[in-house]
Amino acid sequence: MPTEITMPQLGESVPEGTVRRWLKQPGEPVARDEPLLEITTDKIDTELPAPAAGTLLEICVQEGATVRVGTLLGLIGEATEPSSARQPAITDQHAAPRRPRLSPVVARMVAEHGLDVARITGTGVGGRVSKQDVLRFLEQRQAQLDPPPEQSPASPSIPAPAGTDTPTELPDDAELLPLTPQRRAIAEHMLHAVRTIPHVTTVMEVDLSRVLAHREQQQAAFAQQGVRLTLTAYLVQATVSALALVPSLNSRFTAAGIIQHRRKHIGIAVALTEGLIVPVIHDADEKNLLGLARAVGDLTERARSRRLRPDETLGGTFTITNHGVSGSLFATPIINQAQGGILGIGAVQKRPVVIAQGGSDAIAIRPVCYCSLTFDHRLCDGATADAFLSACKRFLEAYA
């Protein structure tokens, strides 16, 4: 009997996935656990390994098709083995209809905004209400609430910003690049975050002399254990320490009230060629520096090689983005939706700073960087945010 390849459950809140690319074609040999195809969801890109060794007999879902969990994707068996489960390949956008239901993500959004789901038109399979349907409904509701801008009779109407709709004409030197599922998901996620969360950013300069000296002393010992010690591990340590002192930033805002998390799950933004992904170090406060460095290296490497498990991008309560690795000095990053803040780290540079020395001031050359905290102003005010960032600064500058 052929072995079925089915769409896996890619996380609790991911009821469907898109076949991005088949890595094997019918008739080609396949080894067990060999990468067989790439799957894209609105949260992660991942490779699906072959469930058995043999020959890829048939592809039942073509590239670009979005199907529900459990859908038959293909068959593996002996090259001469007939297939009793063959079915027409699925090439349209979605699989056959199923009973409409709400995913956990959609249910949470509906509850947070106090929506009547019966008023939302579902465009998913079988009329299911998707996250995009909720976002569209919220945008339409807000447009009805916002009064139109006043215009004088002689003033011409102002056109919508360029690039917001599908262009009907393109100049000769331009081309339209279709959105990948991941880029579309990132765009929708960021737009919803900016429209929903009142973003405020506060910035402090941090002296990393002690951290870099400690890293220099410990790099060889960590390397002997197969771990690369990076600045990010220290930043995670500083973050969980500050969250313990200022738990308001380990929270999220809802219409019913503020949900404050006891556990500290820290997301680490990782830049990929096609976008950004944020794997999560769960219970980061329970790990020492070695454990954090190992987790950072492992998650980063597997994120870039598309080997993350879907649940490794879920559950984050706070995020760190080290944008300084590309030379950026200062940034105001967007908060990851359903979190209360994000810590941005700029490039480390040697700069002259004024220090107290023997009762007087002196100028010294120190490795410093700008740390920016973007926070949800509904959760806390500037004084609380500054208390958090000050706690991070003290932790890093007093590192021993």
Query: Which DSSP letter does residue 310 get?
Result: G
DSSP letters for 165-176 = S--S---TT---
Phi/psi for 290 (5° steps) reads -65, -45
Token pair 């990782």 is found at 270
Is residue 146 annotated as part of the catalytic site, yes or no? no
Give residue 208's identity as a one-letter amino acid code. L
Q: Taking Cα atoms as reference points, which of 334, 276, 330, 332 lies closest to residue 300?
A: 276
Question: Which of 33, 92, 283, 377 does the annotation list as catalytic?
Answer: 377
Is residue 381 annotated as part of the catalytic site, yes or no? yes
**Residues whose CB is less than 8 angstroms from the CB of residue 168 and which lie 6 or more positions away in sequence, other chains included:** none
Exposed, middle or buried: residue 184 (CB in 10 Å: 0-12, 13-18, 19+)? middle
First to last CA, the chain: 62
Question: Which of 33, 92, 283, 381 does the annotation list as catalytic?
Answer: 381
Could you give the angle at which helices 131-145 and 104-113 cross, rounded to 10 degrees? 20
Q: Which residues of 134-152 are buried (b: 16+ CB within 10 A; e: fewer)?
A: bbebbeeeeeeeeeeeeee
- Catalytic center residues: 377, 381
